[in-house]
C-alpha cells in the first residue's frame, strides 16, 4: 500500500487546492462509477470564491509526478489551510492565494495563481529542505463525495477503531487487514498489530495488541498475512525498517514477536502461497522464503529488477499463484516471473509502457478461459487496468480493459475471485466490479467510507478505504480505513 514516499506525502502535506461553486449539473465519472458534480467558478476570482473543502493535487517536477492533498477551513472572515495536519493562515487577492509554512530554508509555500471556470486551479508548490528549494508545478481539484447513493449492494455491519481509552488512530493508521477463523488482524502502522474477534460481525471485540517494536523510531507495519506452521498461527508483519516480523498469535490475547527475517530492511508487502513466503522488499526486490520453522526462516531465492538498484523502480506489491509471481514494480510496470525454481526465477512476461503512473498492486483470477490480472496504479489519474495473463496466447500480458472513478482519486488494494473484483478505493470507498466481460468492467456495488469535507480529514491524498479482505462464504468484506478503523460490510449483491 503506502510507500516511504507516501508517508512523506501524508505527513509533509504536499498538496493543492481548487475552488467551488455548484450548478447542480452532473456528469458521469465513468459508465459505472457515480456521477461527478459539475462545478462552475465562471465570474469568480481567487479573492471571492468559497475555498472550503478538501483538495487533491498533481505535482510535477522535471517530468516526475506525485500526488498530495490539503484542506481549506473557514476562519472568521477569512480562511486557513491545513498542510499535513498543521493549520496555517493564507493571504489572498484576485491574483493569488498563498500559504506559507515553516522557514525559508525548511518549509513550504503553496501559491495558487489561476482559477479556471470549472473550478480547477494551478500554481506552484515550493518545498525547501536544508536551504535547497524545489518548485513543483501544481494542478488541483476539490474532492467531494461522488453524487450517488452512499451505498449500493453493500451494507455496513459494524466498525471498530479501538476504545475511548485506546483509539487505534491516536498512534497508528489502519492500512491492511486479514481475517482467519473469524479473527481479524489489522496492520496499524507505528501502532503495530491489532487483533479483533469478529465471530459476531455486528459486535467486534478487541483481543490483543502487538506494538511495533521500533515504533518510536518510525517503524511501521504496512502489511499483514497469516500462516499456520508447527501447530501455531503467525501474523507476518511487513516492517519498514527490519524485514518481516512473525508474531505468534496462537493466543490472540498474548501475541509474541518472533525472530525477524528478510535481507531487505523495508518490506512493503508479504504474500503467502504454497507454504512459501514472498517479500516485496522495495529496493531489495523479491525475496522467497521457507517458513516451515518460523524460528529459523530459510531464504530460497529472489529476483531483482534489472533497472535496480535505484530509487525507482522498486518492488511495491505482488500476487503469487503456483509457480507464477506477478510483481508490481512501480514505474516499470508489472513483471511476471516463473518462480518454480525459487533460486533462479525467470521472466515470462511484462506489462509495461502502457502509460502507467505507478504499478501498485494486482490480483489474478480466471474468467471463462482467460486468466486476467486486475491491476491498479496509484497516484493521480491512477485506475484499474484489466490485463490478459493467459500464457500461450497472442494477447498475453496486454491490457484489454480499464475502469476508473475520477482522476483525482486513486484506486488502492485489490482482491479478485472468479468474475468479481473487490477494491479499497481511498476516498471513493469500497467498489465491487463485475468482470464477466473483462473488456468492459461494470461496478455492481459500492460503499462510501469517506465523509467528504471534514476537519479530521484532508492531510493526505492517501486516506479513506486502504486495505481489504473478503469472506465469500459469509458474504462479508473487511476494510481497513485510515480513520474509521476496521469496517465490516455485508455483500448484498
The total domain count for the chain is: 2
- Residues 367-377, mean pLDDT to the nearest whole number: 97
Q: Domain of 20: which CATH number?
A: 2.40.128
| pLDDT per residue as tens digits for the range 140-151 | 999 999 999 999
What pLDDT was estimated at residue 311? Answer: 62
**Structural domain span for residue 378:** 151-491
**Which residues in 72-88 are b (16+ Cβ under 10 Å) and which e?**
bbeeeeebbbbbbeeeb
Longest dimension (CA), the chain: 70
On whether both 88 and 176 belong to a single domain, the answer is: no
On whether both 99 and 190 belong to a single domain, the answer is: no
On whether both 137 and 165 belong to a single domain, the answer is: no
Instruction: Tell me which of 10 and 424 has the higher pLDDT.
Output: 424
Q: Is 354 exposed, middle or buried (0-12, 13-18, 19+ CB in 10 A)?
A: middle
pTM: 0.92
Instruction: Tell me which of 6 and 129 has the higher pLDDT.
Output: 129
On whether both 326 and 241 belong to a single domain, the answer is: yes
Kindly tell me if the per-residue pLDDT of 342 is higher than 60.
yes
What pLDDT was estimated at residue 15? Answer: 34
Instruction: Tell me which of 35 and 287 has the higher pLDDT.
Output: 287
What pLDDT was estimated at residue 463? Answer: 96
- Residues 226-243, mean pLDDT to the nearest whole number: 95
Q: Domain of 269: which CATH number?
A: 2.130.10.10
Rg from Cα positions in the chain = 22
What pLDDT was estimated at residue 33? Answer: 52
| pLDDT per residue as tens digits for the range 185-218 | 999 999 999 999 999 999 999 999 999 989 888 9
- Residues 263-284, mean pLDDT to the nearest whole number: 88
> Listing from the earlier edge strand, what are the strands of the sheet with 442-447?
151-152, 442-447, 430-434, 420-424, 414-417
Cell of 372: 486476467
On whether both 459 and 335 belong to a single domain, the answer is: yes
Kindly tell me if the per-residue pLDDT of 358 is higher than 90.
no
- Domain end point (choices 125, 143, 161): 143
Across the chain, what does the average pLDDT equal?
Answer: 90
- DSSP labels for 244-306? EEEEE-SSTTS-EE---B-SSS---EEEEETTEEEEE-BTT-EEEEE-SSTTS-EEEEEE--T
On whether both 246 and 123 belong to a single domain, the answer is: no
Amino acid at each position: 500500500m503506502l510507500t516511504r514516499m507516501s508517508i512523506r506525502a501524508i505527513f509533509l502535506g504536499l498538496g493543492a487546492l481548487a475552488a467551488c461553486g455548484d450548478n447542480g449539473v452532473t456528469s458521469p465519472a465513468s459508465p459505472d462509477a457515480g456521477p461527478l458534480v459539475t462545478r462552475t467558478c465562471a465570474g469568480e476570482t481567487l479573492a471571492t470564491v468559497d475555498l472550503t473543502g478538501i483538495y487533491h493535487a498533481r505535482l510535477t517536477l522535471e517530468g516526475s509526478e506525485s500526488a498530495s492533498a490539503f484542506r481549506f477551513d473557514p476562519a472568521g472572515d477569512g480562511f486557513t489551510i491545513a498542510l499535513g495536519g498543521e493549520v496555517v493562515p493564507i493571504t489572498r487577492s484576485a491574483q493569488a492565494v498563498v500559504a506559507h509554512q515553516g522557514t525559508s530554508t525548511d518549509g513550504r509555500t503553496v501559491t495558487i495563481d489561476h482559477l479556471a471556470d470549472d473550478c480547477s486551479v494551478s500554481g506552484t508548490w515550493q518545498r525547501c529542505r536544508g536551504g535547497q528549494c524545489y518548485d513543483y508545478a501544481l494542478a488541483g481539484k476539490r474532492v467531494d463525495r461522488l453524487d450517488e447513493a452512499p451505498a449500493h449492494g453493500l451494507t455496513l455491519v459494524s466498525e471498530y477503531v479501538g476504545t475511548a481509552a485506546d483509539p487505534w488512530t491516536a498512534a497508528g493508521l489502519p492500512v491492511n487487514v486479514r481475517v482467519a477463523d473469524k479473527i481479524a488482524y489489522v496492520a496499524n502502522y507505528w501502532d503495530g498489530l491489532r487483533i479483533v474477534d469478529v465471530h459476531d460481525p455486528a459486535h467486534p471485540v478487541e483481543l490483543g495488541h502487538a506494538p511495533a517494536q521500533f515504533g518510536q523510531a518510525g517503524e511501521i507495519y504496512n502489511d499483514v498475512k497469516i500462516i499456520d506452521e508447527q501447530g501455531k498461527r503467525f501474523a507476518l508483519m511487513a516492517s519498514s525498517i527490519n524485514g518481516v516480523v512473525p508474531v505468534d498469535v496462537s493466543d490472540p490475547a498474548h501475541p509474541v514477536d518472533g525472530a525477524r527475517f528478510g535481507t531487505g530492511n523495508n518490506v512493503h508487502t508479504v504474500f503467502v502461497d504454497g507454504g512459501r513466503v514472498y517479500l516485496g522488499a522495495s529496493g531489495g526486490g523479491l525475496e522467497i522464503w521457507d517458513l516451515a520453522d518460523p524460528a529459523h526462516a530459510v531464504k530460497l531465492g529472489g529476483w531483482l529488477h534489472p533497472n535496480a538498484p535505484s530509487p525507482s523502480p522498486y518492488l511495491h506489491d505482488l500476487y503469487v499463484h503456483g509457480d507464477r509471481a506477478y510483481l508490481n514494480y512501480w514505474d516499470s510496470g508489472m513483471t511476471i516471473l516463473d518462480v518454480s525454481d525459487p533460486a533462479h526465477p525467470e521472466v515470462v512476461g511484462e506489462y509495461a509502457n502502457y502509460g502507467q503512473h505507478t504499478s501498485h498492486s494486482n490480483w489474478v483470477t480466471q474468467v471463462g478461459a482467460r486468466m486476467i490480472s486486475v491491476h491498479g496504479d496509484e497516484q493521480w489519474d491512477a485506475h484499474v487496468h484489466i490485463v490478459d495473463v493467459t500464457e500461450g496466447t497472442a494477447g498475453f500480458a496486454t491490457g484489454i480493459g480499464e475502469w476508473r472513478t475520477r482522476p483525482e482519486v486513486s484506486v488502492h488494494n485489490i482482491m479478485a475471485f472468479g468474475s468479481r473484483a473487490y477494491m479499497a478505493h481511498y476516498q471513493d470507498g469500497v467498489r465491487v466490479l463485475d468482470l464477466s466481460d473483462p473488456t468492459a468492467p461494470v461496478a455492481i456495488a459500492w460503499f462510501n467510507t469517506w465523509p467528504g469535507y471534514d476537519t479530521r480529514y484532508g492531510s493526505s491524498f492517501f486516506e479513506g478505504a486502504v486495505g481489504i479482505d473478503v469472506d465469500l462464504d459469509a458474504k462479508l468484506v473487511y476494510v481497513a480505513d485510515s480513520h474509521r478503523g476496521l469496517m465490516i460490510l455485508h455483500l448484498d449483491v
